[in-house]
Amino acid sequence: MSWAGPEDIYLSTSLASYLDKKLLVLLRDGRKLMGTLRSFDQFANAVLEGACERVIVGDLYCDIPLGLYVIRGENVVLIGELDLDKEELPPHMTRVSSTDIKRAQKAEREATDLKGSMRKRMEFLDLD
Partner 1 sequence: MLFFSYFKDLVGREVTVELKNDLAIRGTLHSVDQYLNIKLENTRVVDQENYPHMLSVRNCFIRGSVVRYVQLPPEGVDIELLHDATRREARGG
Q: Judged by CB under 8 A, does residue 6 bind partner 1?
A: no
Minimum separation from the CB atom of position 125 to partner 1 (A): 28
Longest dimension (CA), the chain: 65
Minimum separation from the CB atom of position 87 to partner 1 (A): 7
> Judged by CB, which is closer to partner 1: 18, or 50?
18
Q: Judged by CB under 8 A, does residue 87 bind partner 1?
A: yes
The count of residues interacting with partner 1 (CB under 8 A) is: 32
Closest among 18, 22, 20 to 54, alpha carbons compared: 22
Q: Judged by CB under 8 A, does residue 108 bind partner 1?
A: no
The rounded distance, in Å, linking the Cα atoms of 118 and 34 is: 37
What is each CA distance from 73 to 9, 43, 44, 95, 99, in whole angstroms?
20, 5, 4, 30, 30
> Judged by CB, which is closer to partner 1: 2, or 127?
2
The rounded distance, in Å, linking the Cα atoms of 90 and 31 is: 19
> Judged by CB, which is closer to partner 1: 5, or 90?
90
The rounded distance, in Å, linking the Cα atoms of 57 and 108 is: 8
Binding residues vs partner 1 (CB under 8 A): 1-2, 11-13, 15, 18, 24, 26, 28, 30, 32, 44, 54, 56, 73-74, 76-84, 86-90, 93
